[in-house]
């Protein structure tokens, strides 16, 4: 009986924390100042990086192109302990400098993507004339 009570208590506490986590969800998109994660540099000027050589935690084929990540500096400095947070332990990684992200990447990204959605995340019909639907 004691075992059953313990299991139920664990289930209830796990469910409760899931609800709390869902309530605290925050969405941060690429181009925003608080975004950390993988970025696509195609079409952008070459990024300024923190380290000249890619960092790899696990063995990675040398012919695989490195990925570009924006991470807090302490995550880059202690990459082995943080690579799982970015699903990048098995990647060759180059960390972009915050100044490049803030001054070069984010403004261009926002300019290029600002017309696709309005402030509420809704599609703007002027950007999708072939998909216009009068029901909206």
Average pLDDT (34-55) is 92
pLDDT of residue 135: 38
**Strand spans (E) along the chain:** 37-39, 67-70, 93-95
pTM: 0.64
Choice between 41 and 20, residue whose per-residue pLDDT is larger: 41
Please report, for the chain, the start and end positions of each structural domain, with discontinuous segments joined by +. 27-131
Reduce the DSSP state of residue 128 to 3 states and report it: coil
Encode pLDDT of 70-104 as tens digits: 999 999 999 999 999 999 999 999 999 999 999 99
Cα torsion 86, 90, 91, 97: sign: positive
Average pLDDT (6-10) is 40
Encode pLDDT of 59-68 as tens digits: 998 899 999 9
């Amino acid at each position: 009986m004691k075992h059953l009570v313990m299991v139920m208590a664990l289930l209830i506490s796990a469910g409760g924390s899931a609800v709390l986590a869902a309530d605290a969800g925050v969405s941060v998109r690429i181009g925003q100042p608080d975004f950390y994660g993988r970025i696509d540099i195609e079409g952008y000027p070459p990024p300024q990086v923190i380290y000249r050589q890619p960092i790899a935690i696990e063995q990675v084929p040398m012919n695989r192109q490195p990925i570009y990540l924006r991470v807090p500096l302490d995550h880059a400095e202690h990459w082995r302990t943080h690579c799982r947070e970015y699903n990048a332990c098995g990647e060759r990684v180059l960390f972009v400098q915050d100044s490049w992200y803030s001054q070069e990447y984010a403004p261009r990204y926002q300019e290029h993507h600002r017309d696709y959605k309005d402030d509420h995340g809704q599609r703007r019909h002027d950007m999708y004339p072939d998909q216009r639907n009068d029901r909206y």
